[in-house]
Amino acid sequence: MYLEIKDLKKSYESGESRIMILKGISTHVDRGNMCVIQGPSGSGKSTFLNCIGGLDLPDAGSIKIEGDEIVGLSPDKLAEYRRDKLGFIFQFYNLVPNLTVRENIEVCQYLTKHPLDMGELLDVLGLTDYQNKFPSQLSGGQQQRCAIARALIKNPKLLLCDEPTGALDSTTSRSILMLLEEVNKTYGTTMLIVTHNNAIRRMVHQVIEIRDGMISGEYINDVLVPAADLTDL
C-alpha cells in the first residue's frame, strides 16, 4: 500500500461558523496506480487533494505515504515532503511568463538531487523544439505539457493533478491524457487526478467518488481503456 488515508476531516471558517468539507474519508491507493477523484462541485475533491499535497492542514485523521505520516508535520518537514515526493499539475498552468520552457522546468530541477534527464523528458513530452520559447508563444496544450514537465523533472513518486485537462479542448485533452498514461508506464508514477470528465475514469486503475465530503463510491477497473480510444472528452 503506497498511500493510506484514514478518517480525514477538514473544515473552514465561514463568518462565525465552520463548514465541514471533508467528513471522515478513508481510502488507499497502491503504488504505480492512476486514480481518478470525481464528484460534484463543492464536494471536497480539491480539498482532499490539497490535504494529501500538504497545502491544506487537516483537522483530524491520518495521511501516510509509504508508511510515513504527514499529518502534524512541521512547516519545514511539509516543505521537504512536497519537494522530495510530490509533483503538482493544475488546470491553469502557473508558468513563469518571462522564463522559457526550459527555464520553467529548471526551476524545479534545481530542487532535487536526483532529477530526471532534461533531454529525455523534453523528448517524451514533445517539447524539444519549444524549449527556448516563452509561455505566450505556446498553445494551451503546449503550456500544459510544460507544466507537466516541470512537475516531473523532480522525479516525484506521487503526481497530483487538479483538473489537468479542464481548460483544454477534446483533441488536446486526449494528447495530455496519453502523455500522463505514458509517464505512468515509463516512470511508474502514482497519480491522483481530480476531474469532472467521466471519460477519464475508464483509463485509470482506480476511481474514488466523493459527495458531500464523504466517499460515495469506489472501485478498481479490471480493464483499462487506452487514452487514445476515449470518447466524449
Length of the chain, in residues: 233
**Highest-pLDDT range among 84-98, 106-120, 205-219:** 205-219
Q: How much of the chain, in percent, has pLDDT values that exceed 90? A: 67
Question: What's residue 129's pLDDT?
Answer: 96
| Single-letter amino acid, residue 223 | V
Question: What's residue 204's pLDDT?
Answer: 97
Q: Please, is 19 exposed, middle or buried when counting C-beta atoms within 10 Å of its C-beta (0-12, 13-18, 19+)? A: exposed
pLDDT band at 232 (very low <50, low <70, confident <90, very high): confident
Cβ atoms of 45 and 37 within 8 Å: the answer is yes
Question: What's residue 146's pLDDT?
Answer: 93
pLDDT at 113 > cutoff 90: no
Q: How many CB atoms lie within 10 A of CB 136?
A: 9
pLDDT at 109 > cutoff 80: yes
pLDDT band at 90 (very low <50, low <70, confident <90, very high): confident
pLDDT tens readout for residues 167-209:
788 888 888 899 899 889 988 999 999 998 899 999 999 999 9
pLDDT at 220 > cutoff 80: yes
pLDDT band at 1 (very low <50, low <70, confident <90, very high): confident
pLDDT band at 216 (very low <50, low <70, confident <90, very high): very high
Taking the complete model, does pTM exceed 0.75, yes or no?
yes
Give the separation between CA 106 and CA 154, rounded to whole angstroms: 10
pLDDT tens readout for residues 67-80:
999 999 999 999 99
**Which domains does the chain show, CATH number per domain?**
3-229 (3.40.50.300)
- DSSP result, 202-229: GGSSEEEEEETTEEEEEEE-SSPPPGGG
Read off φ and ψ for residue 52, nearest 5 degrees: -65, -35
